Chain A
């Protein structure tokens, strides 16, 4: 056997999926900040989190991802895409880019993604469940019903979220997410 006939192989890259995920996670991160300042349920969920709370939601091994934490006033704040220099209290990592693509293109709902062992969570499980609920609400605001139904476990009925609250909230959250306040 000639060893040089069996060279090292470096697996390729998938830039399209990475770019899609980077954009999706950027919007979601900023939308969490906006939703926590607009929607009372999300606001309450954030109030229940500890003062030093800082979440990283990203894709293994090299991202993309986002960091959302509480600022000095105790309000939710999008803190960028990079982990460096941040003391993360809750890490939610999707095991690979394909799994992230399945979840964030809604081929699999977040709950099914968890059941299929696509996530690694390090931190307080109670906080992770809280963030799961926040993500569901943010998706309801960001996406049309036909898509959101694929992403969340149960789509809220009129009593749980009135159309007025949903549509007005959607406009405000989109505006805040784009403008970043």
Chain B
């Protein structure tokens, strides 16, 4: 195996996955000399009673919950962050636990930043110090940047190694349930993050190990979990894949499908997971024609296994990856339309997005090429973009 000349990889999160994972929180906090966390979660998690499961899991511990804030909105908001900083100080908390959605984690990271940098979030330009202990509890609503080193509040984004959570907990009690749509959305968003992390930029063997595992978990479990959302093994596997895709995403340049989906989500409110999944095969078909980058052979192996990989001639492997992803998307007709047109998006918004994406990603792409990818995804034509 050839070693890449130079690469870097960073992930500070300790992962605790499996039965009764939540019950380890007191011991983990004790390692940081912390015993009074502020809990930040969202309305959906409270509706699903994840907060109650969490409190019950802390029984017979010496922890005192400083406060439980369960009203985080769909997007993290600066006003809410400022109020939570006051709450943290007033209650004398010493750590933060985020449960559920990406917005809960973004809010928690922003509170943490404001407390440590002693500045308003809008004034913080970079992060150069360890922050307060932050634990993330993955639920069925956790996706996108939950386990990454990114924080976004009111459309302002910061990225730093210090923003990774210290501990990530995956407990079956928190990752089972939800709808088929939710399973498909979060799994395919993770697949997009993971595949794109291995497609752009330099070869990174450490990141590749996360990428291949995430792909494998998703491919093997998405259909099982979408049919039976109470299937423990599949639910935990998909949650692990979401975590691994997040880490891989943090250690790679942003991909085109993800960047387009994020922007479309921001401007239209459409599910980022659905949009990313629809665009992914078209973005991959575009990158596959480039000399400096392309779809790695091994991605096919992580999707269909060693036997299918060995049977496929090497020159057809990258095309096979795209076909496999398209087939996977087609297997969820109830949850995922096959093209952007069926999502009822405004066409002119997409054209505007095509113009701004080239400035938002490291990889060189023109607005015209972005539009060609969007066009192909709009009506899902299979011709080369």
Chain A residues with CB under 8 Å of chain B are 1, 3, 6-14, 17-18, 60-62, 95-99, 102, 116-117, 120
Q: Which residues of B contact A8 (CB under 8 A)?
A: 64-67, 91
Partner of A97 from B60, B63, B86, B90 at Cβ < 8 Å: B60
Q: What bracket does the count of chain B residues touching chain A fall in?
A: 20 to 34
CB-CB nearest in chain A for B69: A6
Which of B18, B60, B62, B87 is within 8 Å of A14, CB to CB? B60
**Can you list the 5 inter-chain pairs with the closest CB atoms, starting with the nearest?**
A11-B58, A6-B67, A9-B65, A1-B83, A96-B23
- Inter-subunit contact A95/B60 (CB<8 Å): no
Contact of B61 among A1, A17, A96 (CB under 8 A): A96
Chain B nearest CB from A92 CB (Å) reads 14
Contact across chains for B64 and A95 when beta carbons are under 8 A apart: no
Establish whether residues B86 and A96, one from each chain, have CB atoms under 8 Å apart when the complex forms.
no
- Rounded to whole angstroms, the CA-CA distance of A95 and B60 in the bound complex is 11
What are 20 inter-chain pairs, A to B, with CB distance below 8 A? A1-B84, A6-B68, A6-B87, A7-B67, A8-B65, A9-B55, A9-B64, A9-B67, A9-B68, A10-B64, A10-B65, A11-B55, A61-B26, A95-B23, A96-B27, A97-B23, A97-B60, A98-B20, A99-B23, A102-B19
A10 to B57, CA, bound (A): 12
| Interface-centre pick from B59, B64, B84 (highest chain A CB count, 10 A) | B59
Min C-beta distance of A19 to chain B, whole Å: 12
Shortest CB-to-CB span from B30 to chain A, Å, is 8
Task: For residue B46, give the distance in angstroms from its CB to the closest CB of chain A.
Answer: 13
One digit per residue, 1 when the CB lies within 8 angstroms of any chain A CB and 0 when it does not, for chain B 42-78 equals 0000000000000111111111111111000000000
Binary per-residue interface labels of chain B (243-271) against chain A in the complex, 1 for a CB within 8 Å, 0 otherwise: 00000000000000000000000000000
User: B157 contacts which chain A residues (CB < 8 A)?
Assistant: none
Is A3 a contact of B90 with CB atoms below 8 Å?
yes
**Complex CA distance for A60 and B61, rounded to whole angstroms:** 8
Q: Name the CB-closest residue of A to B83.
A: A1
Please determine whether A96 and B26 come into contact, CB atoms closer than 8 angstroms. Answer: yes
Chain B residue at minimal CB-CB distance from A14: B59
* B69 and A13 within 8 A (CB): no
Q: B160 in the interface, Cβ–Cβ < 8 Å?
A: no
What residues of chain A lie closer than 8 Å to B66, measured between beta carbons?
Answer: 8
A19 to B155, CA, bound (A): 52
A25 to chain B, nearest CB (A): 15
Contacts of A116 on B, CB cut-off 8 Å? Answer: 18-19
Bound form: Cα–Cα A143–B19 in Å: 25
Q: Which residues of B contact A98 (CB under 8 A)?
A: 20, 23, 57
Q: In the complex, what residues of A have CB within 8 A of residue B57's CB?
A: 98
- Residue of B at shortest CB range from A95? B27
Query: B60 to A18, Cβ gap below 8 A?
Result: yes
| Min CB gap A94→B, angstroms | 10
Q: Are A95 and B24 in contact (CB under 8 A)?
A: yes
* Closest chain A residue to B27, Cβ basis: A95
Docked CA distance A181–B352 (Å):
85
User: A60–B27 contact, CB under 8 A?
Assistant: yes
Query: How many Å lie between the Cα of A97 and that of B24 in the bound state?
Result: 10
Q: Which residues of the other chain, B, contact A117 by a CB distance below 8 angstroms? A: 16
Whether A11 contacts B23 by the Cβ 8 Å rule is no
Contact of B59 among A1, A3, A13, A95 (CB under 8 A): A13
Bound-complex Cα distance A9 to B58 (A)? 11
Q: How far is the CA of A98 from the CA of B59 in the complex (A)?
A: 9
Residues on the A chain within 8 Å of B19, using CB: 102, 116
Contact A60 B91 (CB under 8 A): no
The verdict on A97 contacting B55 (CB below 8 Å), with A8-B66, A9-B65, A116-B18 known, is: no
Q: Give bound CA distance, A18 to B60, whole Å.
A: 9
Q: A96-B60, A98-B57, A99-B20 are in contact. Are A11 and B27 (CB under 8 A)?
A: no
B20 and A3 form a contact (CB under 8 A) = no
Shortest B57–chain A CB gap in Å is 7
In the bound complex, how far is the Cα of B23 from the Cα of A1, in angstroms? 30
Contacts of A1 in B (CB 8 A): 83-84, 86-87
Q: Which of B20, B27, B60, B90 contacts A13 (CB 8 A)?
A: B60
CB distance from B39 to the nearest CB of A (A): 8
A96 to B55, CA, bound (A): 14
Task: List A contacts of B68 (CB < 8 A).
Answer: 6, 9
- Which residues of B1-35 have CB atoms within 8 Å of chain A's CB atoms? 16, 18-20, 23-24, 26-27, 30
* A-chain residues with CB within 8 Å of residue B58 when the two chains form the complex: 11
- How far, in whole Å, are A1 and B89 apart by their CA atoms in the complex? 14
Which of A10, A18, A62 has the most C-beta atoms of chain B within 10 angstroms of its own C-beta?
A10
Give CA–CA (A99, B60) in the complex, Å: 12
Q: How far is the CA of A13 from the CA of B90 in the complex (A)?
A: 26
